[in-house]
Structure 1
């Protein structure tokens, strides 16, 4: 199928560079890149939910709490940590 497509300058330059590097036609490089990109989007949609494994961090030193991260950083690094 023939169609007209307007590419951003940086995208066109990358496609042309890949065409020269690989010795393949610009058309082949564009089609392969589009196929790869479209297949990648489909595969990410079929992934399962992200799960976090909870791990025990052990006992904290007395006076340190993980409930307030800003306070914890200040206790460890001092008031000028920023």
Structure 2
């Protein structure tokens, strides 16, 4: 496939260095680099996320109204800041 790409200056420098070191064409170095990068990305396996959980005991407040409690606490903090002039 024939296409046009715009290379960042650092990528261009890396390609030119690899061309000199391997005495290979631009096309060959670019294709080899893309193959290696895409294969490495495909080969990466990510371990499934596992969250540790701990028992925190019986709640001290009614959790069915947790958002209302959070709003009330936030209101108290804001009121205190206003009283202090902040």
- Sort the TM-score into its range (normalised by shorter chain): 0.5 to 0.7
Give the Å deviation of 1:49: 2.0
Correspondence for 2:2: 2
TM-score (norm 2): 0.52
Map of 1:15 onto structure 2: 15
* Structural RMSD (CA): 1.4
The separation in 1 between residues aligned to 2:37 and 2:20, in whole angstroms, is 20
Indicate the residue corresponding to 1:27 in structure 2.
27
For structure 2, the residue ranges without an aligned partner over 5 or more in a row are 49-86
In proportion to residue count, which structure has more helix?
2
Structure 1 unaligned residues grouped into runs of 5+: 51-82
**Aligned equivalent of 2:56:** none
- Figure out how many residues of one structure are paired with residues of the other and give that number: 48
Separation in 1 of the partners of 2:30 and 2:40? 15
Q: Deviations over 1:33-52 (max 9, x none)?
A: 000000011111xx2627xx
TM-score under structure 1 length normalisation: 0.54
CA 1:48 to 1:5, structure 2 compared with 1: closer, same or farther past 3 Å?
closer
